[in-house]
Chain A
Amino acid sequence: MKDINLIRQPIGLRLSSYFFLIFWCIVAAFPIFWITVISVKLPIDAFNSNPLNVIFGPETLSKGKGLSLIDITIGLSIIIFTAKLTTGWLGRMVNKYSPNGYLGFGWIIGAMAFGLSFIIIFFGIMPSVLSLLNDISGPLGNNILGFSTEHYSTVWFEKNFIKNFQNSIMVTTGVVTISLTFGTLAGYGLARSGSNLAFWILIIALIFRALPHSVLVTGYLPFFINSAEILRPIFGESAPTLYGMPWATVAVLVAINQPFTIWMLRSFFQKIPSELDEAARVDGCSHFQAFRRVIMPVMWPGVITTGLFSFLLAYNDFLVTSMLLEAQNTTMVPAIASMFNMETTTTDQVVAVAAAVSIVVPLFFLVLFFQRQIVSGLTAGAVKG
Chain B
Amino acid sequence: MIIKKIATTIAISLISSSVWAGCAFENNIELKSLSNSFDAMKAVTESMAECGNVTSVLDVDFKDKQPEAFAANPSLYQIGGVSNGTMVPLLNAGTIRPLDDLVAKYGSQLKPSQLIKVNGEIMAIAMMVNNQHLMYREDVLKEFRLEVPTTHAEMVAAAATIAKYNVVDYPIGGTYKAGWNLGEEFVNNYLGNGGEFFGEGNAPSINNATGVATLNTMKSLTEYMDPEYLVSDSTYVQQQFQQGKIAMATLWATRAGAMDNAEESQVVGKVIMASAPMGTARPASTNWWDGIVFAKNMTDEQADAAFRVAMEGIDTEMVLANNDDAVWLIDGYVAGSAAAGAIATADNGAAPYPSSSPGMGAMHTALGNGIAAFLTGEKDAATALADIEAAYTIAATEAGLM
Contact = CB atoms under 8 A, between A and B. Distances in A.
B57 to A, nearest CB: 4
B60 interface: yes
Contact of B76 (A153, A157, A221, A243): A243
Interface string A143-181: 000000000010001000000000000000000000000
B61 A341 contact: yes
Interface string B23-63: 00000000010100111001000000000000111111100
B296 to A, nearest CB: 14
Contacts of A117: none
A225 B61 contact: no
A229 interface: yes
B104 interface: no
B69 interface: yes
Contacts of B1: 127-128, 131
A157 B9 CA distance: 7
A342 B38 CA distance: 7
A379 interface: no
Most B C-beta atoms less than 10 A away, residue of A128, A343, A346: A346
A371 interface: no
B5 A226 contact: no
A43 interface: yes
Given A124-B3, A226-B72, 15 more contacts: A123-B2, A131-B1, A157-B9, A225-B68, A225-B69, A243-B72, A327-B34, A328-B32, A328-B57, A341-B59, A342-B37, A342-B58, A342-B59, A343-B235, A344-B42
B259 to A, nearest CB: 12
Contact of A345 (B61, B69, B76, B258): B258
A221 B67 CA distance: 12
22 contacts: A123-B2, A127-B1, A153-B5, A157-B6, A222-B68, A226-B72, A226-B73, A229-B73, A241-B74, A243-B72, A327-B59, A328-B56, A341-B61, A342-B59, A342-B60, A344-B39, A344-B238, A344-B258, A346-B239, A346-B242, A347-B263, A347-B264
A186 interface: no
A277 B242 CA distance: 70
SS class of chain A's interface: helix, strand, loop or mixed? helix
Nearest to A157: B9
Interface in A107-131: 123-124, 127-128, 131
Contacts of A225: 68-69, 71-72, 76
Most A C-beta atoms less than 10 A away, residue of B1, B2, B5: B2
A63 to B, nearest CB: 12
Interface of A: 43, 123-124, 127-128, 131, 153, 157, 221-222, 225-226, 228-229, 241, 243-244, 326-328, 338, 341-347
A221 B71 CA distance: 12
A67 B258 CA distance: 32
The secondary structure that dominates the B interface is mixed
Max chain B C-beta neighbours (<10 A), residue from A124, A243, A344, A347: A344
A342 B56 CA distance: 12
Contacts of B235: 343-344
Interface residues of B, number: 35
Nearest to A122: B2
Contact of A344 (B34, B37, B68): B37
A127 B69 CA distance: 45
Interface in B230-248: 235, 238-239, 242
A228 B60 contact: no
Interface core residue of A153, A225, A226, A345 (most chain B CB under 10 Å): A345
Contacts of B5: 153, 157
A349 to B, nearest CB: 8
Contacts of B9: 157
A327 B242 CA distance: 30
Nearest to A153: B5
A128 B61 CA distance: 43
A166 to B, nearest CB: 15
A326 B60 CA distance: 15
Given A228-B74, A241-B76, A338 B3 contact: no
A346 B59 CA distance: 17
A124 B2 contact: yes
B72 A228 contact: yes
A344 to B, nearest CB: 6
Contacts of A345: 258, 261, 264
Which of A123, A226, A342 has its CB near the most chain B CB atoms (within 10 A)?
A342
Contact of B60 (A124, A229, A241, A341): A341
Contacts of A243: 72, 76
Interface-central residue, B32, B38, B58, B235, by most chain A CB under 10 Å: B235
A341 B242 CA distance: 19
Nearest to A42: B263
Greatest chain B CB density within 10 A among A131, A221, A343 is at: A343
A347 B264 CA distance: 8
Contacts of B34: 327
Contacts of B59: 327, 338, 341-342
